[in-house]
Structure 1
Amino acid sequence: MDLGPLRDSRDFRLLFGSGMITMFGTFLTLVAVPLQMKELTHGSYLAVGLVSVAEFVPMVVCGLWGGAIADALDRRKIILYTEVGLCVTVVALMVNAMLPEPQIWVLYVVGALSAGLGSLQRPSLESLMPRVVRHDQLTAAAALTSFRWNLGAIVAPGLSGLIVIWFGFAAAYGINVATFLFSLALLWLVKAPPQSEDAPPASIRALVEGVRYAVGRTDLMGTYLVDIAAMVFAFSTALYPFLADELGVPEAQGLFFSASAVGSLIASVTSGWTSHVHRHGLGVVVAAIGWGAAVALAAVMPTVWGIFACLALAGAADMISGVFRSTIWNQTIPDEFRGRLAGIELLSYTSGPMLGNARASLMGQLGGTRFSLGAGGLLCVGAVVAMAGLLPRFRDYDARTDEHAVRERARREAHAGAET
């Protein structure tokens, strides 16, 4: 693994450490809220599902607006203020859990607020990356960020579940509050420069300008469209419980859910080679085809471990695709658009899995679990191949010669020379 960004950038180390701590605390709440809702409603599937529904609209609206304010205001301050807000929401959950009769409506309201604040924060966090990491280390930084996420996705949920069961909901929320306070201390030490004084104010017009910029660049549109196609056609976690039941091993569904994160973690740890790749568009295409093919192959596997291996391979391919997509974004998008484009990215990789599970459920209802899994994977491969043919600028993207990458690299070198 290329650890250059951690060695060379103090601010990246602080952001990386803050993310590790916050991730653990966030998983505590992600596990505790549905469990508490299930307990308070005596096992209502509808009540638990409505928590995600309550979070969806704030996530979409605040994701777009978060991108606009990330380009207009001081990103470091946005991150700090939203981190404080997220901490307050968990305090509210903790106080509610300590009441003799915890209120159900609090879980819905706080869940919506938390989703909105998180979506406001994320574009600023992502658009801060090119400011704290050298241009030639952005691929390595993306791989390290993916490693942090995948490690947390494997370890944190299990630990969170044990903490909730052993110590209760209030204690779990209290630990999350402590992680937010620790994270705030690290974020406070970040010294990233503020926005320029001539940055455009946050407005609907600014949002429209960001969309126009994205649409005007087919290489960027390729990253969004390929990701959405891969998720819509091949994301199928809704099928895992049914797949485990068909195999007669219902407890295996936990393995299926963790397989993608295991594959992604392995790919992250061995990702040093990605820093030597320059044809990132082609890399995204090949990785997305690998993702779809692995999902299709899982549909014909007769054993639990065969399916696990295929899903892990799919997770590894998805991680590589994500690294190359992130590299294209960070190496080519001008700083004045980075926040708004991060908001668009947020929508692309949050809506895709939701639509994918809806597609998987519908096809599963019509043709069965294996049909839905296999057909989805093959549709993904076909869609990605078609987009590679229709979007030559995306397919042929080369960081060494692309006009946007060359311009951004020259701008950053000039800025670094002026500082020294």
Structure 2
Amino acid sequence: MTGVTSPTEQLPDSAALPSSSPSPPWYRRTFADLSPLRDNPDYRRVWSGQAVSSIGQQMTAVAVAVQIYDLTGSAFATGLVGLFSFVPLVVFGLYGGAVADTVDRRRLGLIGAAGLAAVSLVLAVQAAAGLDQVAVLYAAVALQAGFFAMSSPARSAMIPRLVPGHQLPAANALNTVGMNLGLTVGPMLGGLLIGAYGPQAAYLVDTVAFTGTLYAMWRLPAIRPLGDRTGRASVLEGLRFLREQPNLRTSFLADLAAMVFGMPRALFPALAVTLYGGDARTVGLLVSAPAVGALLGALFSGWVGRIHRQGVAVLAAVCAWGLAIAAFGALHNLWLGLLLLAVAGCADTVSMIFRNTMMQVAAPDEMRGRLQGVFIVVVAGGPRLGDFESGAVASLTTPITSVITGGLACVAAALLLAARRPAFLTYDSRHPTP
């Protein structure tokens, strides 16, 4: 089917453009490369469906938080949503990655989307019926996290089968655009709908939004892992593979360092009051600034396809993240601080694009699901460890000291990784080695 490439077509060497190729016009070198959407109908449908679904899921996240707080009046009860989602994300992320390496990934993605849509419909029904049971909301959040974690590795692992190798950086940039559209547009639309019609409206829109993903998955051909694997795929086998592949392992460690040391989001409420003399609206600005920067970074990502030293790009982006966070803590001006947080979000987008591309190209197809499962664990667990780290340091010192030292520790960790693994700096996407 159109849009599905053969293993030969996926060879990373195909990313190298002939030396006689004319230079693309300036706007293609500047803005996000849309060629994966233009050239691959299957990828275009998957991307569109996931972008719309991401907006709906963020609307649901806001609605759940609002509903729990309205029922309990407790910030602690609202914060427990993170705990009820974290455990399924970790457990089912690893397990879902192993399953994705043995079954039809298209079917797994279809089941996950259907499950998520069903949970959103249940949430809409309970809100409309006035059930007012916090336990039901916690259970729904856990189910959502489980369905997402089970199907997300399959959806990510199928991307290299939907676009040719030389378009993978552009495809990952577009995936980041879709994700950050959800993070920026979803909460805003959710707040408007909840204020006007109640949380059930946001849940219903989310349910309908999943039809795009369901349609896209339905249209795909079967996407089974390549190779001769039969039976079960071991999670431990995937972890052993990652341990034995230094470049992929270094990319994971670089992201973990950024999330653990340079993620001060738990301090935003304290900083909003003590540093800027603001209120909840100030917290909202601080929270949204990195997402806005990440979205802009993805929109202006036309240059990423020309970068072959992707290991250098990852570590440079992590250092840029850490320096921006440290400067945010040192400079006590709100608007400058928001700009620095946006710069950090942009750097995170660059790192994510190249880390995903390295994982998709350097790893064999039969391992991609499990590596994506580990990736989910890092993405889910890293920020939460970062919340603990920043809060602990702030309690021993001050919030400002925690932000500054965290950003500098992130830079130090990236430089240490560069010193310990110099081969990572020579990683070349035209000749990838895991």
Give the TM-score category using the shorter length: over 0.9
Aligned counterparts of 1:378 and 1:81: Cα–Cα separation in 2: 43
The superposition leaves residues 140-175 of structure 1 with CA deviations (integer Å, 9 ceiling, x where unpaired) of 101111111122211111111110111112222112
Q: How does 1:110-129 map to 2 (within 5 A)?
A: 110-129=140-159
Contact 2:86 2:381 in 1 (8 A): no
CA gap of 1:221–1:361, structure 2 versus 1, over 3 A, is same
Give the CA deviation at 1:403.
Answer: 4.3
| Higher mean C-alpha deviation, range 145-154 or range 366-375 | 145-154
The superposition leaves residues 335-374 of structure 1 with CA deviations (integer Å, 9 ceiling, x where unpaired) of 1111011101111121111001111111111111110110
Aligned counterparts of 2:87 and 2:330: Cα–Cα separation in 1: 37
Contact 2:107 2:217 in 1 (8 A): no
**Quick one: which of 389, 392, 399 aligns to 2:419?**
389
The superposition leaves residues 377-416 of structure 1 with CA deviations (integer Å, 9 ceiling, x where unpaired) of 0111111100111012222211123345xxxxxxxxxxxx
Give the CA deviation at 1:271.
Answer: 0.8
Aligned counterparts of 1:187 and 1:70: Cα–Cα separation in 2: 15
Aligned counterparts of 1:175 and 1:333: Cα–Cα separation in 2: 37
The superposition leaves residues 238-276 of structure 1 with CA deviations (integer Å, 9 ceiling, x where unpaired) of 111111112112232211111111111221121111100
State the SS of the aligned residue for 1:140: helix
Contact 2:257 2:410 in 1 (8 A): yes
2:353 partner amino acid: V
Aligned counterparts of 2:217 and 2:257: Cα–Cα separation in 1: 35
1:393 partner amino acid: A
Aligned counterparts of 1:187 and 1:180: Cα–Cα separation in 2: 11
Aligned counterparts of 1:179 and 1:402: Cα–Cα separation in 2: 37
Matched, 1:336 2:380: no
State the SS of the aligned residue for 1:398: coil
Aligned counterparts of 2:365 and 2:382: Cα–Cα separation in 1: 26
**Quick one: which of 68, 86, 103 aligns to 1:73?**
103
Matched, 1:193 2:232: no
Matched, 1:256 2:286: yes
State the SS of the aligned residue for 1:72: coil
Aligned counterparts of 2:130 and 2:193: Cα–Cα separation in 1: 21
Give the alignment's TM-score, normalised by structure 2. 0.90
**Quick one: which of 316, 326, 330 aligns to 2:356?**
326
State the SS of the aligned residue for 2:429: coil
Aligned counterparts of 1:227 and 1:98: Cα–Cα separation in 2: 41
The superposition leaves residues 163-221 of structure 1 with CA deviations (integer Å, 9 ceiling, x where unpaired) of 01111122221121111234312321123533458333235xx2111111111010000
State the SS of the aligned residue for 1:310: helix
**Quick one: which of 44, 60, 63 aligns to 1:13?**
44
| Higher mean C-alpha deviation, range 181-190 or range 63-72 | 181-190
**Quick one: which of 354, 359, 363 aligns to 2:393?**
363
Q: How does 1:54-203 map to 2 (within 5 A)?
A: 54-191=84-221, 193-196=223-226, 198-203=228-233
Aligned-pair identity in percent equals 38
Give the unaligned 5+ runs of structure 1. Answer: 405-420
Contact 2:247 2:433 in 1 (8 A): no
State the SS of the aligned residue for 2:303: helix
Give the alignment's TM-score, normalised by structure 1. 0.93
Equivalence for 1:223? 251
Q: How does 1:372-383 map to 2 (within 5 A)?
A: 372-383=402-413
Aligned counterparts of 2:226 and 2:424: Cα–Cα separation in 1: 30
Equivalence for 1:412? none
Aligned counterparts of 2:154 and 2:103: Cα–Cα separation in 1: 9
Aligned counterparts of 1:197 and 1:369: Cα–Cα separation in 2: 51
Aligned counterparts of 2:214 and 2:273: Cα–Cα separation in 1: 44
Equivalence for 1:276? 306
CA gap of 1:367–1:18, structure 2 versus 1, over 3 A, is same
**Quick one: which of 51, 57, 60 aligns to 1:29?**
60
4+ runs deviating over 6 angstroms: none
Aligned counterparts of 1:354 and 1:202: Cα–Cα separation in 2: 31
Contact 1:11 1:191 in 2 (8 A): no
1:106 partner amino acid: V
Contact 1:131 1:192 in 2 (8 A): no
Contact 1:71 1:200 in 2 (8 A): no
Equivalence for 1:402? 432
| Higher mean C-alpha deviation, range 336-345 or range 151-160 | 151-160
Equivalence for 2:18? none
Aligned counterparts of 1:35 and 1:71: Cα–Cα separation in 2: 38
State the SS of the aligned residue for 1:46: helix
Matched, 1:315 2:350: no
CA gap of 1:328–1:101, structure 2 versus 1, over 3 A, is closer
**Quick one: which of 291, 295, 298 aligns to 1:265?**
295
2:159 partner amino acid: M
1:83 partner amino acid: A
State the SS of the aligned residue for 1:272: coil
Give the unaligned 5+ runs of structure 2. Answer: 1-31
Aligned counterparts of 2:267 and 2:150: Cα–Cα separation in 1: 31
The superposition leaves residues 55-86 of structure 1 with CA deviations (integer Å, 9 ceiling, x where unpaired) of 22111110011001100000000011111111
Q: Give the alignment's Cα RMSD to 1 decimal.
A: 1.4
Aligned counterparts of 1:197 and 1:284: Cα–Cα separation in 2: 30
Length, aligned pairs only:
401
1:402 partner amino acid: P
